Amino acid sequence: MSAIYTTDEYGRPFIIVREQDKKSRKSGIEATKSHIMAAKTVANIVRTSLGPRGLDKILISPDGDITISNDGATIMSQMAIENQIGKLLVELSKSQDDEIGDGTTGIVVLAGALLEQAEELLDRGIHPIRISDGFEKACKIAVAHLDTVSDVIPWSKEDTSDLFKCAKTSLGSKIVNKCHDQFAQIAVDAILAVADLERKDVDFELIKVEGKVGGELADTALVHGVIIDKDFSHPQMPKEVKDAKIAILTCPFEPPKPKTKHKLEITTVKEFEELQKYERETFETMVRQVKECGANIVACQWGFDDEANSLLLQHKLPAIRWVGGPEIELLAIATNGRIVPRFEDLSSEKLGSAGTIREMSFGTTNENMIVVEHCANSKAVTVLVRGGNKMIVDEAKRSLHDAMCVVRNLIVNNNVVYGGAAAEISCSIAVEKAADQVSSIEQYAMRSFARALDVIPMTLAENSGLPPIETLSYVKSQQIKQGISSLGVDCMDTGINDMKEQFVFDPLISKRQQFLLATQLVKMILKIDDVIVHRNDEQ
Amino acid sequence: MAGRGQMPMMQPQVIVLKEGTDTSQGVPQLLSNISACQAICDTIRTTLGPRGMDKLIVDSQGRVTISNDGATIMKLLDVVQPAARTLVDIARAQDAEVGDGTTSVVLLAGELLKEVKDYVDEGVSSQIIIKGFRRAADLAINHIKEIAVDTDRSDKAKFRDLLEKCAATSMNSKLIGSQKEFFTKMVVDAVMRLDQDELNEDMIGIKKIPGGAMQDSILVDGVAFKKSFSYAGFEQQPKSFDLPKIVCLNVELELKAEKDNAEVRVDKVSEYQAIVDAEWKIIFDKLDSIVATGANVVLSRLPIGDLATQYFADRNIFCAGRVSKDDLDRVCEATGCRVQSTTTDLTAKHLGICERFEECQIGGQRFNVFKGCPGAKTCTIILRGGAEQFIDEVERSLHDSIMVVRRAVKNQTVVAGGGAIEMEISRYLRETARKIEGKQQLIITAVAKALEVIPRQLCENAGFDTTDFITQLRARHAQDPEKYKWYGVDIEEEKVADLFKKFVWEPALVKTNAIASAIEAACLILSVDETVTSQKSQDPMAAGQPMPGRGRGMPMGGR
C-alpha cells in the first residue's frame, strides 16, 4: 500500500493523515486503468439490452423485490454498484433519464466504448489529458455533424403520425412491443393533451400513470380524466354518477377540531347528550351545505366515520374518502373545481364538473377504481396500465415514460436524426475524416472516438443476431458510397437499411446529449490519477 | 501518539509530563516535519496546471469528491500531522483570500522547505533561514509589484477582456478547461452584474441540476431556485406573470396551533365552534392582508400549508413555501423587497417587482425563475452536467474563477501565469542574492530555486522534458530580463513562449499572496523545534488496540 507516510528521526513511520491505515490509495496509470476496467464491466452488463432485439435483465433487490427491465437507467440504479466509477456511470444514465428520458442504455455503452478505446491509447503512452482533448474535439465534430444530418419532422395537433413513429422507435426495445402501436398512440395522445404548445412546455405532473395487475397489456388505456385508486365509501352508493358536480374537500366529515390542544370535560349525562346532538347536527349541516351548493358527489381528502357514511348514503350523496393529496389536485385540475378547505366555503362555482364518474371493477378481485371522465378540463390525463404481473406492469410504465419523454422532446424541438445507429455511423465517418486533418497527437484520440461510435451499431447488430462486423462494414460502405446518412442497422430484418423508410427516428437533442454527456464523463474519469478511499472495516 | 515506545534509556526517568504524552524535539524533529510536508506536497503536485490530474476521494461516509482544487483536496485528506496541517491551512487561507492558486501555494511552501532541508541538517540556525525567507519574500513581492502590468480600467471593452483572460487562466487546469470561452463569459457576466463596490459573491447563486451537457449551463439575470415542496392546489396556481409583484415573508401560513403549549378548556359544546372559528380567522386574516397588498407571488421561508396554497390558487396568486434563506435573500436583492416577519403591517411598498416570473422545466426539475430584475445586483448560474460529482467540480472551478475575477476587478494589475512570473522572480532573486553577504545569500538562492517548482511541475504534469524546459527558461530570463520577462511554459504548443502575449494572465494579487503565505508557512514550520502531543483521551478506539507494555496507564482523564 502506497499510503502517505514518512519516518521520523528514529525511523519510525508516523501518521500524517487521519486513520491512514484505513485508507487505500491508488495512483497514476494504475488508477486510470482500474477505472476503465470498472466502467467496461458496467457497460458490458447493459450492452445486451440495447436495441429492438435487446434483452431484459432481472434484478432482485435486497428485500426480494423483483424488477425486470430493459431501461438502462433502471437497471443501473437497481444494481447497487459499489465502485466509484461505476457509480458515475449510474449517474450518467440517470442524467440522461432526467433530461431526455430515453437513450439511457446507449449512453452507457458509448461511455464504456470510449473508455475501452482510451485504454489502448494509454498503453501507447499518450497522456490521458491529450486523449480527452482529442475526444472533446471529436465530440464537437460529431455534434456539429448531427445537426447536418438531422431532419425536421413536421407535426401538428392534427397530424401526429411522425410523433407516433418516434414513440414507436423508443418503444421498440421494450417489453410492450407486443402492443406497439397502441402504446405509441397512448404516449402521443397523453403528451398532446397536456402540452402547452405555445410555451412548448410539458408538465409531466399532469400525466398520471397508474398500474394495475390483471388483464393484459392490450387493455392499457388512456383516460382523459383522472383515475383514483379508491372506491365509494359505502357499498350501496350508486356505481355511476352522470353529469357529476363534485365537491373537493380537504376537511374531514366530522365536527371541526381546534388545532390548539383542548380539553372537554363531560361531567353529566346531559352534557354528553348535548355533545352527541352537536355532532349529529354538524354532520347534518355539513351534508346540507354540500347538497345546497349543488354537488352530487363528494371527494374528501380525509376520512369520515361510519355514522357520517350512512348519513351520506341516506342523503344520496356518493362519496370517496381518503383521496391522496396529488389525486385531489389532479381531480381539481381535471374538473376545473376548486379545493375547498371547509364546509362554509362551499359554493356552486367551486364545484368541479365531469361527464361521468364511475366505479370500475377488475375481474374477480375486489379491487375497484374510480374513473372520472369527460372532464371540464382535459389537461389532466391518466394512463391505466394493465398487465399479467407486477413486473410487466412496472416495466410497461417505465417504457411508456420513455416514449412520452421522446414525444415531449419532439414537441420542444422537432429535429430528429435517424435511429438504428445511422447517426452514429454517419458521425463516425465524419470524425474519421476530420481526424486526418489534425496534425497533433489528438488525431489518434479522434480516430478512437470514431471507433467507439462504431460500437453502437455493432452492439445493435450483435443483439439482433446479425454478424456485427459484416453489418457495420456493409452499412458504412453504403453510407459513403451512396452518400445517404440515413442508412442504419436493419435490426428487425425487414431488408431495408434506410431508416427513413423504416421510420426509425430519435430526437436530435437526445443523441446530442448522449455524445456530450458521455464524452464529458469520460474526460472526467481520464483526468483522475489518484484515488483515496476510506475503507469501512466492518467486515 | 499514545502508547508508542520511547527510546530505551539507562538513567532513571524523571517524569515531567503526563504518561503517554509524546514529545520529540530538536533538529530531527524539524527534519521530520519537513518530510511530512513534502509527503503532502507529493500528493497534490500532480494537480497543477492545464495537464494536471484530478483526485478522487471517498470519505468515511462514502461521499465521493472528484477535484482538482488544491484547497478541496487538502481539506478532504484529513491531515493530522501538525506541521502538515499548516499547509492545509495556507491552502484554505489562499482559497478564502484569492480563491485561486491553492495548489501552487502548497507546492511552493513544500519546495521552500525541501530546499533548506540540507541547511537545517548541516546545522544552520532556523532563525537565519527564517530571516532569509522573509527578506526574499519582501524582495519578490516588491518585484512583482514593479513588473506587474497595470491595465486601463476606463476602457470598458479592454477591462472586460482583462477579466475574461484572468478567468480563463484559472479555468485552464480544471475540468471545464475545454469550454473556457463559454464559462469565462458566464463568470465575467456574473461578476459584472454584482454591486461593483461590494462584490459579494454570495449574490451569485449557483444551482446544480444533473442532466444536460455542461454547455447547457445558463446564466439567469435574476434569481432561480428549485420548486419547493408544494401542497395540493399548487398546480392550479398561475405559473407565469409579467411584471409580478413579489412579497417575501418569514411567516408560517398554516392552519395550526398558534401557541404550542396552550391548552384550551372547553366547557360547553357550543364554544367548540367559536374556537375553531377563531383559529380560522387568524390564518384568514394573514392571507387577506397579503392579498390586499396586490402581490402576485408570495414566497416564504417557512411552510405554506395546503389551505393557503388553495386560497392563493383561488385568487390567482403564486406561492412557494420553504424557500431557503440564500434564495430569499437573493430574491430580495433582485426585486427590492424586504423579508417581512409579520403580515400585520403589510403594505404595497414592501413588495418587490421584476419583469417576468415563470415556473419552467429545467432538466428533470421545475424551477422558479425571476427575470429582468430592476435592482438586480444578483444573478444565478444554473449548472448542468452528466453526474453530480461532475457538477460539483464545475461549481468549485467556477467559484475559483469568480473569486479571481472579483480580485481582478478590485486590483487591476496582472502578471503572466504558466510559470513565467515565478521564473522572473527566481532570476531576480538569484541576481540580488549575489550582492548580499553572509548565509542570507544561500537562503535567498534557495528561495529562487524553490520558485522554479511551478514551471517544473507544469512540465512534468504535461509530460515534457522538465530539465530541458527549465534550463531554456533560465537561459532566456538571464539573456534579456526585459525582453524575455514573460517567458514561461506554453503547454499547448509544447515550448517556452511569451505567455503575456498568449493571454495567460493572472491577477498579481494571486501571486503576491501565494508567495507571502507560502513563505509564512515555511517560516512557521521552521520555527517549531518541539512537538508535545497529549495522550489521546481514552476512547473506545483505544480499547481495540492493546497498548504495548507500560502504555496502559491509569485512566487519569475521565473528567
- Predicted local distance difference test score (pLDDT) of residue A535: 66
- Predicted local distance difference test score (pLDDT) of residue B23: 67
Q: Which member of B234, B267, B279 has the closest CB to residue A258?
A: B279
Cβ atoms of B97 and B513 closer than 8 Å: yes
Q: For strand B218-220 and strand B339-340, is the pairing parallel, antiparallel, or unpaired?
A: unpaired
Banded model confidence at residue B555, pLDDT cuts 50, 70, 90: very low
List the one residue out of A173, A156, A70, A95 whose CA is nearest residue A410: A156
- Predicted local distance difference test score (pLDDT) of residue B143: 92
DSSP type of residue A55 = P
SS3 of A293-306: the string is: CCCCEEEECCCCCH
How many whole angstroms separate alpha carbon B123 and alpha carbon B554? 40
Banded model confidence at residue B2, pLDDT cuts 50, 70, 90: very low
Cβ atoms of A266 and A357 closer than 8 Å: no
- Predicted local distance difference test score (pLDDT) of residue B433: 92
What phi and psi, each to the nearest 5 degrees, are found at residue B363? 60, -135
A6–B211 C-beta distance less than 8 A = no
Instruction: Provide mean pLDDT across the span A116-133.
Output: 88
Q: Which member of A99, A257, A529 has the closest CB to residue B53?
A: A529
- Predicted local distance difference test score (pLDDT) of residue A1: 36
Beta-carbon contacts of residue B274 (< 8 Å; ≥ 6 apart): none
**Rounded to a whole number, what is the distance in Å from the CA of A505 to chain B's nearest CA?**
20
A18–B53 C-beta distance less than 8 A = no
Cα angle: A274, vertex A275, A277; to 5 degrees: 65
Banded model confidence at residue A453, pLDDT cuts 50, 70, 90: very high
- Predicted local distance difference test score (pLDDT) of residue B554: 44
Count other C-beta atoms under 10 Å from residue B119's C-beta: 19
Concatenate the DSSP letters of all residues of A412-430 into one string. Answer: H--EEEETTTHHHHHHHHH
For residue A90, give the chain B residue with the closest CA.
B387
Cβ atoms of B129 and B119 closer than 8 Å: yes
pLDDT above 70 covers a percentage of chain A that reads 94
- Predicted local distance difference test score (pLDDT) of residue A5: 53
Q: What is the pLDDT of residues A272-324, one digit of tens each?
A: 888 888 888 888 888 888 888 888 888 888 877 787 788 888 888 888 888 88
**Chain B residue numbers touching A402 (CB-CB < 8 A):** none
The answer, yes or no, to whether residue B413 has pLDDT greater than 50, is yes
A95–B387 C-beta distance less than 8 A = yes
Banded model confidence at residue B444, pLDDT cuts 50, 70, 90: very high
For residue B360, give the chain A residue with the closest CA.
A201
Banded model confidence at residue A2, pLDDT cuts 50, 70, 90: very low
Concatenate the DSSP letters of all residues of B336-357 into one string. Answer: T--EES-STT--GGG-EE-SEE
Banded model confidence at residue B556, pLDDT cuts 50, 70, 90: very low
Asked which of A139-143, A265-269, A395-399 is least confident by mean pLDDT, the reply is: A265-269
- Predicted local distance difference test score (pLDDT) of residue B271: 76
The answer, yes or no, to whether residue A11 has pLDDT greater than 60, is no
pLDDT above 70 covers a percentage of chain B that reads 89
List the one residue out of A284, A399, A427 whose CA is nearest residue A343: A284
Question: Is A339 within 8 Å of chain B by CB?
Answer: yes
Give residue for cell 507516510.
A5
How many whole angstroms separate alpha carbon B481 and alpha carbon B476? 8
**Chain B residue numbers touching A341 (CB-CB < 8 A):** 255, 306-307, 310-311
Question: Is A60 within 8 Å of chain B by CB?
Answer: no
For residue A203, give the chain B residue with the closest CA.
B361
How many whole angstroms separate alpha carbon B242 and alpha carbon B67? 41
Local structure of B70: helix, strand or coil: helix
Local structure of B180: helix, strand or coil: helix
- Predicted local distance difference test score (pLDDT) of residue A430: 92
List the one residue out of B243, B204, B207, B208 whose CA is nearest residue B221: B204
Question: Is A123 within 8 Å of chain B by CB?
Answer: no
- Predicted local distance difference test score (pLDDT) of residue A10: 56
Strands (E), A180-301: 207-213, 221-223, 226-228, 240-249, 261-264, 297-300
Question: Is B236 within 8 Å of chain A by CB?
Answer: yes
- Predicted local distance difference test score (pLDDT) of residue B450: 93
Instruction: Provide mean pLDDT across the span B537-557.
Output: 45
Q: What is the pLDDT of residues B25-80, one digit of tens each?
A: 778 888 888 888 888 888 888 888 888 888 888 887 778 888 888 888 888 888 88
A529–B54 C-beta distance less than 8 A = yes
For residue B307, give the chain A residue with the closest CA.
A341
Which residue, among A442, A524, A535, would best test binding to B if mutated, counting the most B CBs under 10 Å from its CB?
A524
**Mean pLDDT in chain B?**
82
Q: Which member of A9, A92, A332 has the closest CB to residue B386?
A: A92
Higher pLDDT, residue A380 or A112? A112
- Predicted local distance difference test score (pLDDT) of residue B255: 75
Q: Which member of B31, B233, B266 has the closest CB to residue A339?
A: B233
Instruction: Provide mean pLDDT across the span B377-396.
Output: 84
The answer, yes or no, to whether residue B109 has pLDDT greater than 50, is yes
SS3 of B456-511: the string is: HHHHHHHCCCHHHHHHHHHHHHHHCCCCCCCEEEECCCCEEEECCCCCCEEEHHHH
C-alpha distances out from residue A73 to A57, A77, A110, B559, Å: 12, 6, 14, 54
How many whole angstroms separate alpha carbon A265 and alpha carbon B266? 7
Which residue, among A30, A42, A91, A276, would best test binding to B if mutated, counting the most B CBs under 10 Å from its CB?
A91
Residue A71 known to be catalytic: yes
A274–B269 C-beta distance less than 8 A = yes
How many whole angstroms separate alpha carbon A54 and alpha carbon A103? 13
**Chain B residue numbers touching A36 (CB-CB < 8 A):** none
**Mean pLDDT in chain A?**
83
What phi and psi, each to the nearest 5 degrees, are found at residue B27? -60, -45
Residue A471 known to be catalytic: no
- Predicted local distance difference test score (pLDDT) of residue A15: 64
Asked which of B157-161, B427-431, B452-456 is least confident by mean pLDDT, the reply is: B157-161
Banded model confidence at residue A142, pLDDT cuts 50, 70, 90: very high
B233: left (phi over 0), alpha (psi -120 to 50) or beta: left
Q: For strand A261-264 and strand B263-266, is the pairing parallel, antiparallel, or unpaired?
A: parallel
Give residue for cell 400513470.
A209
Name, of A103-117, A321-335, B353-367, the range with top average pLDDT. A103-117
The residue from A104, A169, A220, A459 that is catalytic is: A104
- Predicted local distance difference test score (pLDDT) of residue B427: 93
The answer, yes or no, to whether residue B300 has pLDDT greater than 70, is yes
Q: In whole angstroms, how large is the CA radius of gyration of chain A?
A: 30
Cβ atoms of B80 and A18 closer than 8 Å: yes
The secondary structure element, H or E, covering residue B110 is: helix B102-121
pLDDT above 90 covers a percentage of chain A that reads 10
Question: Is B269 within 8 Å of chain A by CB?
Answer: yes
- Predicted local distance difference test score (pLDDT) of residue A452: 93
The answer, yes or no, to whether residue B546 has pLDDT greater than 50, is no
- Predicted local distance difference test score (pLDDT) of residue A265: 77
**Chain B residue numbers touching A27 (CB-CB < 8 A):** 46
The answer, yes or no, to whether residue B305 has pLDDT greater than 80, is yes
* Cβ-based burial of B9 (10 A; exposed 0-12, middle 13-18, buried ≥19): exposed
For residue A335, give the chain B residue with the closest CA.
B236
The answer, yes or no, to whether residue B8 has pLDDT greater than 70, is no
Cα angle: A463, vertex A469, A474; to 5 degrees: 105
The answer, yes or no, to whether residue B325 has pLDDT greater than 90, is no
The answer, yes or no, to whether residue B134 has pLDDT greater than 90, is yes
Instruction: Provide mean pLDDT across the span B147-175.
Output: 82
The answer, yes or no, to whether residue B330 has pLDDT greater than 60, is yes
**Chain B residue numbers touching A513 (CB-CB < 8 A):** 212-213
Q: What is the pLDDT of residues B522-533, one digit of tens each?
A: 998 888 888 777
Instruction: Provide mean pLDDT across the span A242-266.
Output: 79
Banded model confidence at residue B471, pLDDT cuts 50, 70, 90: very high
- Predicted local distance difference test score (pLDDT) of residue B540: 47
Higher pLDDT, residue A80 or B415? B415
A129–B51 C-beta distance less than 8 A = yes
Banded model confidence at residue B17, pLDDT cuts 50, 70, 90: low
Banded model confidence at residue A3, pLDDT cuts 50, 70, 90: very low
Instruction: Provide mean pLDDT across the span B253-272.
Output: 73
DSSP type of residue A54 = P
Instruction: Provide mean pLDDT across the span A58-75.
Output: 85
